[in-house]
Structure 1
Amino acid sequence: MAAYTRMTRARLYVLVDSFEDDMRQILLRYVLDHKSEEEALGDSLERAQDRRDADPAGDAVSLVHYLDMREAYDILNRHRDALPAELGRELRACTPQMDTLVPIRNRVMHGRPLHEGDAEKALSACRAFTTRFWSMLRDTLDRLAADPSWEPAFNGSGARYSDRILHNLPLGDYDETGLIGRAQDVSKVLRLLLKRRESMLTITGEGGIGKTALAAEVAYNLLDDPASPYECILWVSLKTERLTANGVVEIADAVRDITGATQRLGYALADDFRGGLRELSEALEGVETLLIIDNLETISGDEVVALYETLPDTVTYLMTSRIGVGQIERKIPLTPLSVKDASTLFRSFARSRGVATEYLARYSAETVKQVVKRLRCSPLAIRWWILSVESGREPLPTLTSQEELIGFCVRSVYDALTPLPKEVLTTLYALDRSSTFDEMAVLIDVDVDDLRRAIKELLNGSLVSSKPDPEDELVIRVSLTEAAQHFLRSVAPPVKSDITQALHREQVFRRAEEERRADESRRQLAPSVVRVRSSNDEPTAHLLRLALAQSRRGSFDRAKEFVARARALNPDFWEVDRVEAFILSENHQVDQATARYRAALSSATDDAVPVVSYYFAGHLAGRGHRPDAALPYARAADEAFRSPDTAQLLGKVLLWDRQYSEAQEHLKWAMENLKQGGRLRLIILTSLVESWRRWAESLFDEDKNPVEAGRKAAEGFAVGARELDAGVWDLKLAESTLESAKSVLRSVTATGIFVPEFEEDVRRVLQGVKRHYPIFERCDAWRLFPGRVGQLHRVRDCPNDIKALCEDLVHISDPGAQASDGGEFPVGIVCSWRGKYGFIAHPDYPSNVFFPASVMADLNGVPGDSVDLVGQRVKFRLDEHGKDDRPRAGWVSLHS
């Protein structure tokens, strides 16, 4: 069998023809030698006569030459008694072979595409006839076996007419194997063309994937389908080159534009056609036509639209293209073969090429699987590789170096790309993995709509593929096709700097995401935290965090740009509305922020509603000055989280709503349950100080109770002063603490007579203010504080030591201490002391000022570790290291 495996259409033709010639000779010799044609042919007589009458040279030929293969065989079977006994037995035994041989014969003789296995099946059927009566068949079989390179003369163009449809269809180029693995695709396209609900279908896919073969198979199926609505099927190919084992070669007389296509189509209707598109339209007027244009990417979409608009409505279009028209079409993407079908094609094609490649067909299943995978399960790639091996190339090096193949399949599409799609390809190549659209929108800083168009262009050109994300089917992941990946790796590598830049952008994105997760784990309700529903929301969260960062820097317009990009990616994500509302609120656009918060609440999931409620409450109570409206949202958030964040917010809202006692309960709970310090602790402390002060003012102004007001204010000052004594330097806390001190003095001076029960509180307040005046003098409240001190000094019965403290405070409210050289020394508070070194808190130096014990002028030989300087006010001078990230003092002295 191996010697017969190389069976082209021409070789099949002579095989089938020799079998039919032998049958005719048997009929003439053993049946028509003693029976009339009427008696011998029976029901087949009339059909044979009609065929002979249609043949101008038919009068000189016997009717048996006008019998179909099956008719001739059935006639022989009916007259078995007239045949030699061994021939009769053979005919009866081999009758089932006709069910195999007849369809193959019809495909060969009528110019139809061959099916997978036709050659092997035809050989097997013919070899079943072994008696001496099949001399021509035996001679043909012997010659086919003896000379695998024999290619008989054969006009394989096929008939220009089927029984009823005019056509100019070419023979398929897949005769050696048949069309493997495309049954479902053929059925789909056939169904659409039979229904005719789509005026233009385009089969798209990468080069060599089998678009042309699929279109040809569909066309021939329509040609033989009784239900076909078409009277004419016209084919024109715009291919200008083809790939061979020896490289890419130009196609002679190739059609290169719509004018040439029109001429080629017109020749199918009339040999002397010389018109243009208008004349072709006139010729097809009223004719139900299927127009097939192969390799459409050679011409522009505008030319196709012109063709579509000029030809009559009776024309239906079937196109093949690596890209597609982009307009007025329904696309049918063609994907690579399955591994199983690709393996079948590999073995079938290897066998069909004869002894030079027959050994390839005997590869193990695993080897074939690996080969077809490396060839991307592409029909063209599989054929090219086998032909290359047949021409003498080594299998493995050919498999490894596919530049020629990939260039042929991809180059024309790649070269036609605009810069943005090429940047997308470079980014995907650098990532070396699939990516969601949202991630690409973060890694490539372009308009989202432009990016969508770029990816669509790449999908149309089969340079990228898309599939649902395993975690969320509504999210699409985009990846390079194997052909595009190979092309970028071996044929047209991206510029290294572009790859480096893409990887850098990804690293920035990944680091930002790590920071986001860390921020959320530390304090999930911090303003900079953006939550995600799944990893697919991470790009949106990244853009929203960038928006928040720009807003903090005061770049409101830039912040809005990032929010707009995030909304374009993820319009239904509640965090987009929530972050936009937060930014609008921070920029005093109260009504707009309120509307966005309400939108976030309406789209938020159940677990997200408390999060939005938390921020909405802060907005309503703060920027909106509506604590009553904020209170239900603050309570809802606190009930859901019961965290220091939510308790602090609820306390503040209650404070602004003048529910002081409950406010303090929540603020104190927040302090007690705070696991770590930091900014939140200062916020809670400041709110707690503020609650005492506001409560005091309410008691003073509304209840006319200055004594109780003074006590409340003194309690607030004590809370703040303890924190300042610990070395904390925070202007907001200091502001609230100093306001509490003012409220104490206001209460004391209300009657003009010093109340003795205030004595200890007033003394502690004045001493505390004196101790921390370097930070208090930077507060807005300091402007009016000396006046309050003066009033206290003038109050009747004021104790002398308190008057002395008042005088000290009035004195130090003048410009600060002078250095010996006439310059001013800054004054700060020692916030940390380690015996051998310490740190000074000062508002001009956020990272604190470092100083060693050796520069401390007041130690006087006392060991540093035996002295506690924390909380002490000191003057200091920066030395030559003052420009470093952490400034250093060269001289430090206690400041009285």
Structure 2
Amino acid sequence: MSKTTETRLTLAALIYGVEIDLKNSIKKNITPYFENIAFFKDKDLEKRVVERFEKDNPGVDYLENIDEVIEFLDFHDTFTILNKNKEFLKKETANYLKSNFNKLNDLTPIRNRVMHTRPLLGGDFSFTYDFVSTLKKSDPIEWSITIDTRDKIEKDPSYVLTLKFPTNHFEEEISKVSHNLPVADFDETGFIGRSQDVEALTKLILTNKVVSVLGDGGIGKTALAIKVAYDIVDMNESCPFELIIWTSAKTTMLTSKGIEDIYTTITDYSGLISEIGETIGGSNKLEEILDYLDYFKTLLIIDNLETIQSEEVRSFIREAQTKCNILITSRIGLGELEYPRKLKGLSEAESAKLIREIARIRNSETLLKLPQSTLVDISSKLYFNPLAIKWFVSTVETGITPHEVINNKGDLLDFCLTNVYEKLSKGAISVLNTIRAARKKITNAEIIYLSEYEPLQVRKHLIELFKTTLISRQIEDGNNYEEVIYFISDFAKDFLSKKYPIDHSYIKANIKKSKELNVGIRQIDKVKRYNIFSLNALVYDNQNQMISAKFLQEALICSKKGDFEQALSKVHEAKNIDPNYFEVYRVGAFIKATQGDLLSAEEDYQLGLEIAPENPRLLYYYAQFLMFKLEDIDGALVYAKQVYKQKPNHPYTAFLIARCFNYAQEYNKAIQVVNDLKENVDLDPKNLRIAYTELISYYSEIGKSLLTIQTDIDNGVSHFKKAFELFEHCADEKIVDYKMAKNFSVGILTLIRFLPIIKTDELNEFLKLMIVNNDKYINLTVDLKEKIIRSFCDKFEDNSLNELIDFNSSEQKLVGNIIRTNNTKDNYAFIQVDEDSYFAHRYDFIDVANWSDWKKLKNGQLVSFEKGTNNKGECAKVIKLY
């Protein structure tokens, strides 16, 4: 006899004994005083009971057989009638009944579940047995039948097989729903917990065509499906179904002896169709079955679908769901066909209760003595899996210690997960291994980076994996975003470690990629802290955007090398990870503009601004693009003003809008912006040089425009002199760089060329002195110097400066600015030339004789030098200070 059958029959015998004793109490204490059944004190009850009696006893007068009528009362009616007629009971009997009324009331739904073959609930057995165990022969109500039944069961549990229970009205309320639902296999302990799952699954079945319960083997999918199906049957008039068909494709079961095959279940598509056909009347033709499902409102339940899942089965479900509702239990989902409900393990309290219920029913003293904390710990090691818990108790019953059982879970793991793993594609296994090798919870984007699959391929494989129970996911809240992270459950982790270990080289390769990612992100963060307007300064709000940023960083590196195809491929990968990440469009636009694809670049900038219309970096780069690539000065000025309004004291925004004003020939506005920046911000040497360089250019442009129209010559000359004055100030402060020297030289040349003849005598000596005094700076711009001296000679008919033309000394020279380290004790520095920097040792500086001279060097000071080499590569040699 199975444990389930034994449990149900034991409950039936005990509850039936209580019911007989209560009816005997009515016959003994109440019916002798009545000639009718008015003591029911309920007209509807009188009518219902009389109808039952007359149905079984046609032509018999019930008034002459009152005691026989009592047999047709329901369980709940017996103690309710006794309670309503307390005046006919002894005082102690009435008080005893009152004290036990709630317990009898709680026993009623248990009686109904037992007698109507409905799934038992957790605690049904223990509650009933505890109540019956308290009954004594000395109680005011005579419990002779109940106590006798209890004693016989305790002496011989098989006694229940000899009992026959009345069927006169237990099943009289026949449901309108036809079904072939099996007896619940959890009746030994009753259905424990899952109240939220029951409620949610019931709603899903009633509102969706195809619903699946997904979970590990043994997690309780079948039990939940049976419980919900019976609940739907018991909805009676409100039940939307006329027929519920149960089919099972379960092929194995886990016992204390190991995994055993089941030979009476469906094994393929043909078996499924045959099973359904037999249930509805013997037809094996698909068309007839579909017509039947279309005619009757049907709920079709397919248990353990993963064992027969094939394209034929999927096609059948796809077609059948247009005719009926379908509930599936499976370890592997159907994807787009279903509305899934993932089933997790029991709670700690529910798991411990399950162990106690089984141990109590089986009288396992070893487990009954264990404290709650130990039971929770055992449950945790069994993954809070109901089947695993039952398997554990059964195995302990064979004499194996709990510790040994916990440490030998091979059969359990095989039973629960082998079918799932063996059906995975190669790509899904690779992605699964990537998650495993990460040794932590990781995002979709991290999986993409570490697995080296295309984003769309990763999503496809994740969907395949998530239809199983091998991986789990959870949503973590961030700052205004939700992020999905993936991980391997402990259950799956133990299974995979034992059956499919990962090669150590794969793990090492994964760790290496993770380190590369971390290094790249640190570089991005460093650049962002240094200058938010740097091309490589990428901001991100979550893990997915962080990985996208790493791809964008790699894209910019490829772009710098001229590999635009690879660069745009990296941008595409970043975009697939997060299409709403604005940096994707900024970097993509920059690379396309560099490549010469200006129209596509502009589209990307505009897409980025749709996502982040106020982002200063996007506004900045789009304004630059409009100004320098499309030469759309008006458009550039619109966006430059927006970013300048956000950050008026940042050098990049100030220089940007100043240059826009310069291009628009609004020179005074440009000068005002740069002067405001100098006054409000303590600029570093580099930005201070840029500020003066810009001002020199703007003053020269004003001077040029005034001299061109010759309306205010003196004012024009005055602006040139202002530009020269600023340059000499910078020379005194040793903050000149090559571009500043060039702007100064251009200013000298422009003034000479545009100066009216009437002013030549006045400015001859001034310009001659300016050229001579700053010859070393002008000498850096070889081509300009020659033009300056030739133009001076022609304009002033003065050949005295021809002796300055000597280009040999600087033809092989590079020009840059010193970048000092923070440590003044270091005997080296670096020289910045555009985007490149060169190592410069103290002994290679021509003008540095000692430590005192070395310490006087300024950060940003202009130098010329020759390229040389040392043991680490290129460096600066023959370094001359300016």
Work out the CA distance in 2 between the residues paired with 1:599 and 1:873: 44
Q: Which amino acid aligns with 2:561?
A: R
What CA deviation, in whole Å up to 9, does each residue of 1:135-161 have, x standing for no partner? 6644442243345798858999x9999
Please name the residue that 1:386 is paired with: 393
Q: Superposed, which structure 2 residues align to 1:280-291 within 5 Å? A: 280-281=289-290, 286-291=295-300
Work out the CA distance in 2 between the residues paired with 1:556 and 1:718: 45
Q: Specify whether residues 225 and 730 from structure 1 end up closer, same or farther in structure 2 by C-alpha distance, changes over 3 A only.
A: same
**SS state of the match for residue 242, structure 1?**
strand
Please name the residue that 1:122 is paired with: 128
Q: Which amino acid aligns with 1:848?
A: Y
Work out the CA distance in 2 between the residues paired with 1:668 and 1:417: 67
Q: Specify whether residues 293 and 839 from structure 1 end up closer, same or farther in structure 2 by C-alpha distance, changes over 3 A only.
A: closer
Q: Superposed, which structure 2 residues align to 1:775-814 within 5 Å? A: 775-777=780-782, 782=783, 786-795=786-795, 797-798=797-798, 800=800, 802-805=801-804, 809=805, 811-812=806-807
What CA deviation, in whole Å up to 9, does each residue of 1:219-251 have, x standing for no partner? 222333312233322211111122223332222
Q: Which amino acid aligns with 1:509?
A: L
Shift of 1:175: 0.9
Shift of 1:295: 0.9
Q: Specify whether residues 512 and 720 from structure 1 end up closer, same or farther in structure 2 by C-alpha distance, changes over 3 A only.
A: farther
Tell me if structure 2 keeps the 8 A contact 1:242–1:250: yes
Please name the residue that 1:307 is paired with: 316
Q: Specify whether residues 678 and 479 from structure 1 end up closer, same or farther in structure 2 by C-alpha distance, changes over 3 A only.
A: farther
State which of 481, 484, 500 in structure 2 corresponds to 1:492: 500
What CA deviation, in whole Å up to 9, does each residue of 1:437-478 have, x standing for no partner? 444444444433333333333332233333332335741322
Work out the CA distance in 2 between the residues paired with 1:587 and 1:457: 39
Work out the CA distance in 1 between the residues paired with 2:580 and 2:391: 49
Q: Specify whether residues 225 and 65 from structure 1 end up closer, same or farther in structure 2 by C-alpha distance, changes over 3 A only.
A: same
What CA deviation, in whole Å up to 9, does each residue of 1:660-706 have, x standing for no partner? 23323433444566656476455445433432443343233333777
Shift of 1:279: 4.9
Q: Specify whether residues 843 and 120 from structure 1 end up closer, same or farther in structure 2 by C-alpha distance, changes over 3 A only.
A: closer
What CA deviation, in whole Å up to 9, does each residue of 1:45-80 have, x standing for no partner? 652564589xxxxxxxx9899856639957996999
Q: Specify whether residues 637 and 38 from structure 1 end up closer, same or farther in structure 2 by C-alpha distance, changes over 3 A only.
A: closer
Answer yes or no: is 1:458 the counterpart of 2:439. no
Work out the CA distance in 2 between the residues paired with 1:631 and 1:795: 39
What CA deviation, in whole Å up to 9, does each residue of 1:257-290 have, x standing for no partner? 12112223333345xx473534544665623322
Q: Superposed, which structure 2 residues align to 1:428-467 within 5 Å? A: 428-467=435-474
Please name the residue that 2:63 is paired with: none
**SS state of the match for residue 181, structure 1?**
coil
Shift of 1:297: 1.5
Tell me if structure 2 keeps the 8 A contact 1:5–1:119: no
Answer yes or no: is 1:848 the counterpart of 2:838. yes
Q: Specify whether residues 189 and 535 from structure 1 end up closer, same or farther in structure 2 by C-alpha distance, changes over 3 A only.
A: closer
Shift of 1:307: 2.3
State which of 279, 282, 302 in structure 2 corresponds to 1:268: 279
Answer with 284-293 or 441-450: which moved more: 441-450
**SS state of the match for residue 170, structure 1?**
coil
Tell me if structure 2 keeps the 8 A contact 1:729–1:842: no
Tell me if structure 2 keeps the 8 A contact 1:664–1:688: yes
State which of 391, 395, 407 in structure 1 corresponds to 2:402: 395
Work out the CA distance in 2 between the residues paired with 1:217 and 1:595: 57
Tell me if structure 1 keeps the 8 A contact 2:483–2:542: no
Work out the CA distance in 2 between the residues paired with 1:858 and 1:16: 110
Work out the CA distance in 2 between the residues paired with 1:740 and 1:887: 33
Please name the residue that 1:819 is paired with: none
**SS state of the match for residue 295, structure 2?**
coil
Answer yes or no: is 1:624 the counterpart of 2:630. yes
Alpha-carbon RMSD: 5.1
Please name the residue that 1:334 is paired with: 343
Please name the residue that 1:179 is paired with: 191
Q: Specify whether residues 580 and 684 from structure 1 end up closer, same or farther in structure 2 by C-alpha distance, changes over 3 A only.
A: farther
Q: Which amino acid aligns with 2:387?
A: L
Answer with 9-18 or 298-307: which moved more: 9-18
Tell me if structure 2 keeps the 8 A contact 1:469–1:476: yes
Shift of 1:292: 0.8
Work out the CA distance in 1 between the residues paired with 2:834 and 2:578: 42
Work out the CA distance in 2 between the residues paired with 1:309 and 1:872: 77
Shift of 1:204: 2.0
Shift of 1:588: 4.5
Shift of 1:174: 1.0
Work out the CA distance in 2 between the residues paired with 1:682 and 1:164: 91
Q: Specify whether residues 155 and 37 from structure 1 end up closer, same or farther in structure 2 by C-alpha distance, changes over 3 A only.
A: same
Work out the CA distance in 2 between the residues paired with 1:315 and 1:325: 17
Q: Specify whether residues 776 and 337 from structure 1 end up closer, same or farther in structure 2 by C-alpha distance, changes over 3 A only.
A: same
Please name the residue that 1:56 is paired with: none
State which of 868, 872, 876 in structure 2 corresponds to 1:884: 872
Shift of 1:484: 2.9
Q: Specify whether residues 613 and 68 from structure 1 end up closer, same or farther in structure 2 by C-alpha distance, changes over 3 A only.
A: same
Please name the residue that 1:323 is paired with: 332
Q: Superposed, which structure 2 residues align to 1:656-667 within 5 Å? A: 656-667=663-674
Answer yes or no: is 1:551 the counterpart of 2:559. yes
Work out the CA distance in 2 between the residues paired with 1:424 and 1:435: 12
Q: Superposed, which structure 2 residues align to 1:118-517 within 5 Å? A: 118-127=124-133, 130-131=136-137, 137-146=146-155, 152=161, 163-193=175-205, 195=206, 197-227=207-237, 228-270=239-281, 273=282, 275-281=284-290, 286-300=295-309, 302-308=311-317, 311=320, 315-359=324-368, 362-364=370-372, 366-399=373-406, 402-472=409-479, 474-480=481-487, 481-517=489-525
Q: Which amino acid aligns with 1:513?
A: I
Shift of 1:830: 10
Work out the CA distance in 2 between the residues paired with 1:353 and 1:548: 69
Q: Superposed, which structure 2 residues align to 1:17-28 within 5 Å? A: none
Work out the CA distance in 2 between the residues paired with 1:274 and 1:13: 38
State which of 735, 746, 759 in structure 1 corresponds to 2:753: 746
Shift of 1:303: 2.7
Please name the residue that 1:113 is paired with: 119
Q: Specify whether residues 390 and 746 from structure 1 end up closer, same or farther in structure 2 by C-alpha distance, changes over 3 A only.
A: farther
Shift of 1:753: 9.3
Q: Which amino acid aligns with 1:175?
A: D
Work out the CA distance in 2 between the residues paired with 1:765 and 1:141: 121
Q: Specify whether residues 381 and 683 from structure 1 end up closer, same or farther in structure 2 by C-alpha distance, changes over 3 A only.
A: farther
Shift of 1:212: 0.6
Work out the CA distance in 2 between the residues paired with 1:767 and 1:687: 22
Tell me if structure 2 keeps the 8 A contact 1:729–1:843: no
Tell me if structure 1 keeps the 8 A contact 2:126–2:357: no
Shift of 1:216: 0.4
Answer with 386-395 or 666-675: which moved more: 666-675
Shift of 1:116: 1.8
What CA deviation, in whole Å up to 9, does each residue of 1:798-851 have, x standing for no partner? 263x2322xxx1x536996xxxxxxxx768799699999778969799543656
Shift of 1:166: 3.1
Q: Superposed, which structure 2 residues align to 1:639-718 within 5 Å? A: 639-641=645-647, 642-670=649-677, 675=682, 677=684, 680-681=687-688, 683-703=690-710, 712=719, 716=723
Q: Superposed, which structure 2 residues align to 1:859-878 within 5 Å? A: 878=868
Shift of 1:213: 0.5
Please name the residue that 2:529 is paired with: 521
TM-score, normalised with respect to structure 2: 0.80
Shift of 1:215: 0.6
Q: Specify whether residues 883 and 252 from structure 1 end up closer, same or farther in structure 2 by C-alpha distance, changes over 3 A only.
A: same
Q: Specify whether residues 385 and 789 from structure 1 end up closer, same or farther in structure 2 by C-alpha distance, changes over 3 A only.
A: same
Work out the CA distance in 2 between the residues paired with 1:408 and 1:683: 72
Shift of 1:210: 1.4
Which ranges in structure 2 are unaligned for 5 or more consecutive residues? 41-45, 59-66
Work out the CA distance in 2 between the residues paired with 1:46 and 1:63: 13
Shift of 1:352: 2.6
Q: Specify whether residues 865 and 75 from structure 1 end up closer, same or farther in structure 2 by C-alpha distance, changes over 3 A only.
A: closer
What CA deviation, in whole Å up to 9, does each residue of 1:530-572 have, x standing for no partner? 3345676434444444444443333334443344444444444
Work out the CA distance in 2 between the residues paired with 1:375 and 1:692: 81
What CA deviation, in whole Å up to 9, does each residue of 1:853-872 have, x standing for no partner? 5x89999xx87967999999
